[in-house]
Amino acid sequence: MPERKGPSRKGQPTLSRQAWADAALDALAERGVAAVAVEPLAAALGVTKGSFYWHFRTREDLLAAALERWHERETEEVIAALQRLDDPAVRLRRLFDIAFRDAVGGGAEAALLAATDSPVVAAAVRQVTTRRLAYLAELFTDLGVAPGAAEHAGLLAYTSYVGFFTLQRAEPAAVPRGPALDRYLDDLLAMLSAAAGARPSPAHPRQRGV
């Protein structure tokens, strides 16, 4: 995949596949999957839509390229950064900070996770989801949690995260900020630790019935 070949016509550098994919991912994060449209994107990039088809076979292809970029940026790079931290407890806390405070994905997440009507999007989302759940389970295992309980806790953590940023998009006013967010994360971590420590099968004692 050539990165860029140097200027060609009228001083404009020739467009690369990557430039299209990046523009597509930006549009997607800001205005949703429908905004990944060839003609408007071409206009924004200053070329005709015909030229698009030299780089990509279809619009779906462009989406797939943008999605690949998303996977790399918001999953692989985050995991790689976490793995540079020695203490798994620190890794978990850092992950929560990244996920809940820094709001990974900058808007692409919510747009993507539910746009599973598109087969390309569905495939990318499945991959990312599997990868993240596996990493979370690994993280809890590193903390000393038994495999089954670790998977369970990872699931709980991930659904909370997905729900959180979805809510943030749907109704930002309802999402905790500042000290309320601290308490929220505190409780979540505590809940997770309780769930992770629970024995797999029989009913376990609880502090108060709800």
Partner DNA sequence: ACCTGAACACCGTTCAAGT
Residues at the site binding DNA, with contacts judged by CB under 7 A: 2, 5, 8-9, 14-15, 37-40, 47-55, 57-60
- In terms of CB distance, is 21 or 149 closer to DNA? 21
Q: Which residues 6+ apart lie within 8 Å of 20 measured at CB? A: 41, 45, 52, 55, 56, 62, 65
Q: Is residue 103 close enough to count as binding a second copy by CB under 8 A?
A: no
Q: Which does 14 bind (CB under 5 to 8 A by kind): DNA, a second copy, none?
A: DNA
Q: Please count the other Cβ atoms lying within 10 Å of the Cβ belonging to residue 117.
A: 8
The DSSP code sequence of 104-143 is: GGGGHHHHHHT-TTSHHHHHHHHHHHHHHHHHHHHHHHHT
Beta-bridge partner residues of 53: none
From CA 23, how far away is CA 133, in angstroms rounded? 29
- Interface of this chain with a second copy, residues 119 to 158, rule: CB under 8 A: 122, 125-126, 129-130, 133, 143, 152, 155-156, 158
CB contact at 8 A, 49 and 38:
yes
Close Cβ partners of 176 (under 8 Å, ≥ 6 residues apart): 183, 184
User: What binding mask, one character per residue, do residues 59-88 give for a second copy by CB under 8 A, x or -?
Assistant: ------------------------------
Residue 74 DSSP code: I
Binds 195: which of DNA, a second copy, none (CB < 5-8 Å by kind): a second copy
The letter for the amino acid at 157 is A
Minimum CB separation of residue 175 from a second copy in Å reads 8
**Which segment (14-22, 40-48, 73-81, 161-169) binds a second copy by CB under 8 A?**
161-169
d(CA 84, CA 127): 23
**194 touching a second copy, by CB under 8 A:** yes
Residue of 85, 103, 113, 146 that binds a second copy (CB under 8 A): 113
**Contact partner, 83, from a second copy, DNA, none, Cβ < 5-8 Å per class:** none
Query: Which tokens in the block code for residue 121?
Result: 């999007």
List contacts with a second copy (CB under 8 A): 31-35, 89, 92, 110-117, 122, 125-126, 129-130, 133, 143, 152, 155-156, 158-164, 166-167, 169-171, 174-176, 179-180, 183-184, 186-198, 200-201, 203, 206-210
